Amino acid sequence: MCIRTTHNMFFRVVSSYFKAGNEPQVHSPTSEEGFSSIKSAISNHYHILEEIAAEFKCNSPPSTAAVHSNPIILCLGNHSSGKSSFINFLLGQEIQKSSAAPLDDSFTLFTYGKPYSKHQNFVEQSGEGLALNKNLPFHSLSNVQGGKFLHRVKLKYVEEKKLEEIMLVDSPGMIDATQSRDYDFSSAIQWFSERADLILFFFDPEKPGTSAESLATFSQLLNKADHKLVVVLNKVDSFESVNDFARTYGTLCWNLAKVISFKDMPMIYTTHLPTHSGLPKFENALSDLQNKIIAAPARHVDTLITDFEKYTGRLLMHCRVASHIRSHVATTWWKTSLWILFFTIMLIFLSLYATGGEFSAYSLLSCFIGFSLLCSVPSFLTRKEEQRALEQIETHFCAEYFSELRENRQSVLKTWEAVKSELEGSLKQWGVFSIP
């Protein structure tokens, strides 16, 4: 199949690059050239798959803007955990307002751009404008909660060199269940976390993982993102003694252990922003955290390759199961049509036999009955079979992937979990016979 061919061609391009001894080093000319060639290969192969996806009524692959965009670093955490202060520290200027109390209920994105005048630190764009910007990978934001979420998103263009290579996302501080928002916070977090290359989750000494939203985010949304999740215990310079630090650190580990499904506890970076007093023992953690951010471009390429492999696998499964269902329903149509045609011919022969071989009114009636049945019954039974096939979509999946399920059941079922609802929706909307 063309999907498999495209998948194999792309990975030959990637493997040939690395076999040539071009192991990438972040910020080296070789790595930048290599990353660019891999991105171009991904973009070119996505164009091929886009035609197949449209033909089989499957979701389109990521846009060229998404492939060539900067890596996204998502900052999550409780309010007053130091997310905004950390972003200000990275950018070297006060762009985000910070406070101990929640100030903003919006997601703020930061990318490189020049302000209109020297008196401005940044240029702001609304969520609606962001979704229409074809140069940025946020077009699908308009699909989150039917577009209602857009008024809670804004983009800030800041003239800062670091933003030429990364994009930052500052999220609203997480709150307790007793408080509420005017949008689905979980859906928004899920959308950004799926697209982020690095997720920094900030905790502070006051609430080390105790807010309802932070615990729910870990248990429901981030359990599959452990490869890109970094936990940060911030503001450690506020502790008055080692005993206070140990108590808070232990509380955070205890709370995380109850909600994460990882085999091992993730590393916790204990950091604080530079102060005059300084805590030498924690300065290395801040440096390590900054190095994680600097390495984001290399991580972004890894994410693109992984996403490409996931998309081709899902598209292939969508096409195979859809084709299997179409073939099954089409077989029902042909069988029914042939039986009715056989029945009609038999009626005509019987009427001719009864009239001594003369074409009579009985013969005409037989032709009329057969033609009416041929026009109505196959279509009726096909619609019924189409509905039954959608109800038994799991059966068709198992029949098509019988051998793969025996060899690698867990991986195949994981892909099917991501494909099933989309395939059902596509077949219901467009019909089985829209599949080639």
Residue 269 to residue 244: CA distance in whole angstroms: 17
Q: Is the pLDDT score of 363 beyond 80?
A: no
In sequence order, what DSSP letters do the residues of 153-174 get, joined into one string? EEEEEE--GGGGT-EEEEPPPB
In sequence order, what DSSP letters do the residues of 53-72 get, joined into one string? HHHTT-PPPPPHHHHHSPPE
Q: What percent of the chain has pLDDT over 90?
A: 6
Q: How high is the pLDDT of residue 2?
A: 59
pLDDT tens column, 211-221: 778 888 877 77
The larger pLDDT score, comparing residue 72 to residue 281, is at 72
Residue 328 to residue 319: CA distance in whole angstroms: 14
pLDDT tens column, 184-239: 888 888 889 888 999 999 988 877 766 778 888 877 777 777 788 899 998 888 88
Q: What domains, with CATH codes, occur in the chain?
A: 67-279 (3.40.50.300), 308-430 (no CATH)
Q: What percent of the chain has pLDDT over 70?
A: 75
Q: How high is the pLDDT of residue 336?
A: 73
Task: With beta carbons less than 8 A apart as the criterion, state whether 352 and 358 touch.
Answer: yes
Kindly state the average pLDDT of the residues 304-331: 86
Evaluate the CA torsion angle 76, 82, 85, 91 in order and state its sign. Answer: negative
Q: How far apart are the first and last CA of the chain?
A: 13
Residue 325 to residue 317: CA distance in whole angstroms: 12
Q: How high is the pLDDT of residue 18?
A: 46
Q: Is the pLDDT score of 252 beyond 90?
A: no
Q: How high is the pLDDT of residue 179?
A: 62
289: confidence class by pLDDT, cuts 50, 70, 90 = confident
Q: Is the pLDDT score of 82 beyond 50?
A: yes
Q: How high is the pLDDT of residue 25?
A: 45
In sequence order, what DSSP letters do the residues of 131-153 get, joined into one string? HH-TTSS-GGGGGGGGGGGGGGE
Kindly state the average pLDDT of the residues 349-365: 63
- Consecutive H or E run containing 76: strand 72-77
383: confidence class by pLDDT, cuts 50, 70, 90 = confident
Kindly state the average pLDDT of the residues 87-92: 88
255: confidence class by pLDDT, cuts 50, 70, 90 = confident
Kindly state the average pLDDT of the residues 238-248: 83
Do the strands 122-126 and 153-158 form a parallel or antiparallel pair, or are they unpaired? antiparallel
Q: Is the pLDDT score of 102 beyond 70?
A: no
Residue 390 to residue 160: CA distance in whole angstroms: 53
The larger pLDDT score, comparing residue 380 to residue 58, is at 58
Residue 64 to residue 39: CA distance in whole angstroms: 9
**Average pLDDT value for the chain:** 78
Contacts of 165 (CB under 8 A, 6+ apart): 70, 71, 296, 297
Kindly state the average pLDDT of the residues 90-112: 79
Residue 207 to residue 397: CA distance in whole angstroms: 46
pTM: 0.75
Residue 181 to residue 290: CA distance in whole angstroms: 32
pLDDT tens column, 292-315: 888 888 888 888 888 888 888 888
Residue 63 to residue 46: CA distance in whole angstroms: 8
Residue 304 to residue 302: CA distance in whole angstroms: 5
Residue 172 to residue 103: CA distance in whole angstroms: 8
Q: How high is the pLDDT of residue 17?
A: 46
Task: Find, among 422, 427, 415, the residue nearest to 313 by Cα.
Answer: 415
Q: Which residue(s) pair with 112 in the sheet?
A: 158
Q: How high is the pLDDT of residue 355?
A: 63
The larger pLDDT score, comparing residue 360 to residue 428, is at 428
Q: Is the pLDDT score of 74 beyond 80?
A: yes
Q: How high is the pLDDT of residue 75?
A: 93
Q: Which residue(s) pair with 108 in the sheet?
A: 154, 170
Residue 53 to residue 293: CA distance in whole angstroms: 34
The larger pLDDT score, comparing residue 358 to residue 311, is at 311
